[in-house]
Structure 1
């Protein structure tokens, strides 16, 4: 059996070799990987699941494998492929899975912890809307799944608000972090004051008693708050899946046990390891590192919960009930009881319950959640309608054609779920280093013991044991634990001050790598609301025509009508009474204003009223329409005398932001649900790298997947519900705070001011933070390299020096202080 896949994440021939080797290590699999294009050809005796292939690639690096589907081409690029999202099946809703996908799509009924890596399992979101329960406001014990009367008092039952399930994993981590902080802070203070001349604590008690205080205070941190990290370290060693937890477990565990031994049996330690007659201990190193790692786990748990929140917001868009028309009678039923072929009545202002078509009547539907465009769409008999969109001020009967998981809204929910879990987990630097660092440190420690025990001074075995332990302690990643969270903490705070809200460290890291920005048009590049661009009059009476059409529209709630009225108000034009007003569905409005018969609408309305349109006026209108403007004819007393052009204005900051991003090497591509003419006009004016028009939510998602399959790091900027799947799929999702809650929950970065200038700030901040993190890691690794060398006794034969625990503590503190001081420099960085 032969299959071909796309692999993303490879940047050189070395990557290609590692990916090919990882796949060939699988049983009964023969793989060939090419770099240009990034394709894997796999020959196997039987079908191999995508999850198993992905699991094998995880061991090689941050590579993502996906199936090729060339049937849906958005770009004309040959061999373009669609990334198949690495996601859980819908049947996994409400169950638990490992975020590292150690066992592919395996799910569990309870939060038991991953048996491979020990990570806390994450609950998969429920992808179906919760069925509405009804209760009596006076007798809450009366609960049923359909509307009706209370059997006790006769009151109408009201919908019962479902209580959202709290994230137990997040709450558990938060509780442990609070406990860890309570006990860690005093241990840290006691330890640091030991290095202060004339330590004030010694006036209260001697050093030995303060050591006992540290020991007692560290017990809750080690054996409760941080105990899970030792469990994960043990599991990682049993499965030989060495990672960050292996490093943390060994380092903090040895530091704690060494400190306990030094506290209980100081007589067995050489004088070189004592200070003022007591052995210098490392309780603070253990508890500080465990607390920092716990903070990181809390941030990860919060990030996992963002997807669930986004899905819950999407599910709220669908109504919980609908009006069924049966035998001429209206009956309110649950949305879950709707069947294909049912006739449903949609009243003014109601959300459409399922996908279908209008069977009787007409309406003006707000479809902005799907198209992203603010202008409602007129619908008549036979036209299709979409679940979750909002009906205007008329009533109609629709035929249900797609229900349940078949509706477009349900498909958007599934796409958000798939996309948010399609990326491979970030292989943190500590994890990658741990695969080599842990066994290296253990080997150095073992060699240290052997060499000292055989060639060292008496007591040789004691020296050998203590120096071997010192190697393990000095390898404890205290500064490494501070390097990233300190920079991220300061960077996130700096971003918030500048109107850039960043959810996690992953967003900061990936923003630095972004080379393609996909942006929506409406509400992102443009203001997101229709406004009058011009009123043209063949008789140079534009203000008079504006007075007529604004008066005609003053009682309408249609967005286009409101745009006209608002324009008149800004020009201080007074509106007058309208007589014989009539709204002609799908065409426009007519009425008498100041004794003149005025009509405003499309060309069909002009033809219906037999209003003559001059050829020159028709040419001007055609020119405006080609620029993507919405144009309405104006007729007075049976003659077309002008038009009103309405558009969505480009934000003042969009042009400069796009120019700066492109200067930094970022391609800017606009993907919009708007028509080709409008999209082309905006793209030309802003000199964009490219654009795609008439896009559905799925088209946006697929376009981003194609770019990612080409090895691009993609950021997506949007503000609507229709952008949610694309925001979740992108390497970085950027939402405008002026947009919907769903968009903000699906994104990793939110811009408070809602303009593209915030993206420039986010990218500049990301570059500064990543540069700062690399500097911090340099300090941390230099300390480890030098510290391990000295701890192993490398300098003893030449200078007779051993690493005193006091010196080690001072060096560790200096390393941490240097990392903290360097991180704080970000506060003065100008973005």
Structure 2
């Protein structure tokens, strides 16, 4: 299933099953996004598709030239040169250039806690020019804590927190866990909730001890005709301090304000600065209110914020950026991030996140740090650079070797290339490619302690 029950027991009624459930719809969205990704053509395959026929044509021409115009014994010269061309042009190095580099690159990434699902993701990561970051659990710790309980005139702190815990006991949101944990720490016993319902992107409501209770953001209050009054200014101040304010109303009247804060990861600012130093555009994408999102963005050095996004809209925002011509990487950890992770050019899942997010992503960051994104991009660029070096070396080797094998030097008084030497040279080219690929084992994505990568 798609639900994790951490504490206590519950009574569940299944209103939708199978393909009609929210989880099944998310899985279907993920499948569609994954299937829509264009396959990356293998550069080596494209080269080989031209190289192999070209070599065969050169071998035939060499054969005909030596047979018709060569010295006696013509057949011997013809056989030696033709075989030498075919031996020295054996495309072993060309075939090894890409897979050996990808194998080493994926292994190097794994050393740094980066699990890459396939070679295509490794190649694409280096071409990213935009990275979209989810806020909760990605930029922040994902362990929010209650920081403010400000009751109205008719409530005290304990009474307000008791009602908030009662209504939140039916919610799966991380902010709900912060409220419930605070109530437990104060030994508050909360009553049962009836007719509980969650309003996407706004909050929750239900009946507690016969009273209708609403708990959520300002939009939830406005949609129900409730005026928060003096608490609006207090909520704005808390939001500017990177806290998430939530209003609680009872029977149509505002009862108080609670605020939750999610600590920012210690290395988020440094990791984001690394991405920006590489010329990568960083965007913060969150369902939180704009003031809170902008406060977090200022703290970590992000200039562009897309806030108050409903869970189902995250993939649309990623698609919008792709429509602008951006090559987009998405970093997230939650179930609601899964379609966006699958729809991005490269999806990065935080390893401490949900299984659905990890399954949807191309890359999993096992250490949970945003440095993993910068490291993955650095490894990708180093790997692609290594592949190009391998292909260039294999190509130059054949450009030089094939004419020599065909007997060009003989025309100017030089020797014919011995087929045994041609075989050794062919093997040496493969050794060169493998050795160059293994240089990646010594590559370090970044110098720890604030140095440049």
> Of the two, which has the highest radius of gyration?
1
Relative to structure 1, is the Cα distance of residues 584 and 653 closer, same or farther in structure 2, using a 3 angstrom cutoff? same
Aligned position for 1:520: 134
The Cα shift of 1:619 comes to 3.5
> Does 2:110 match 1:496?
yes
1:424 to 16, 38, 50: 38
Note the 1:127-146 alignment, pairs <5 A: none
Note the 1:416-565 alignment, pairs <5 A: 416-535=30-149, 549=161, 562-564=177-179
1:818 to 412, 417, 432: 432
Structure 2 alignment gaps of length 5 or more:
195-204, 222-226, 446-453
Aligned position for 2:351: 737
Aligned position for 1:631: 246
Note the 1:587-602 alignment, pairs <5 A: none
Relative to structure 1, is the Cα distance of residues 554 and 725 closer, same or farther in structure 2, using a 3 angstrom cutoff? closer
8 Å contact from structure 1 (residues 625, 631) kept in 2 = no
8 Å contact from structure 2 (residues 29, 339) kept in 1 = yes
Counterparts of 1:415 and 1:601 in 2: how far apart (Å)?
30
Structure 1 alignment gaps of length 5 or more:
1-315, 319-348, 351-365, 367-391, 539-543, 591-598, 608-612
Note the 1:218-229 alignment, pairs <5 A: none
Query: Relative contact order (alpha carbons < 8 A, sep ≥ 6): 1 or 2 greater?
Result: 2
The Cα shift of 1:555 comes to 13
Note the 1:337-376 alignment, pairs <5 A: none
Counterparts of 1:747 and 1:577 in 2: how far apart (Å)?
40
The Cα shift of 1:634 comes to 12
Counterparts of 2:346 and 2:228 in 1: how far apart (Å)?
51
8 Å contact from structure 1 (residues 697, 725) kept in 2 = no
Give the root-mean-square deviation of aligned CA atoms.
4.1
Relative to structure 1, is the Cα distance of residues 397 and 477 closer, same or farther in structure 2, using a 3 angstrom cutoff? closer
Aligned position for 2:360: 746
Aligned position for 1:705: 319
Relative to structure 1, is the Cα distance of residues 478 and 561 closer, same or farther in structure 2, using a 3 angstrom cutoff? closer
Counterparts of 1:820 and 1:524 in 2: how far apart (Å)?
37
8 Å contact from structure 1 (residues 495, 502) kept in 2 = yes
Residue 331 of structure 2 aligns to a residue in which SS?
A: strand
Note the 1:244-255 alignment, pairs <5 A: none
Aligned length: 414
Residue 284 of structure 2 aligns to a residue in which SS?
A: strand
Residue 146 of structure 2 aligns to a residue in which SS?
A: strand
Counterparts of 1:687 and 1:735 in 2: how far apart (Å)?
21
Counterparts of 1:698 and 1:560 in 2: how far apart (Å)?
19
2:281 to 662, 667, 673: 667
CA offsets per residue over residues 82-116 of structure 1, 9 Å max, x none?
Answer: xxxxxxxxxxxxxxxxxxxxxxxxxxxxxxxxxxx
8 Å contact from structure 2 (residues 166, 208) kept in 1 = no
Relative to structure 1, is the Cα distance of residues 691 and 551 closer, same or farther in structure 2, using a 3 angstrom cutoff? closer
8 Å contact from structure 1 (residues 696, 722) kept in 2 = no
CA offsets per residue over residues 721-779 of structure 1, 9 Å max, x none?
Answer: 32222222222111111122222222221100122111011111112222222222222
The structure with the largest helix share of the pair is: 2
The Cα shift of 1:515 comes to 0.3
Counterparts of 1:812 and 1:659 in 2: how far apart (Å)?
46
Counterparts of 1:764 and 1:687 in 2: how far apart (Å)?
21
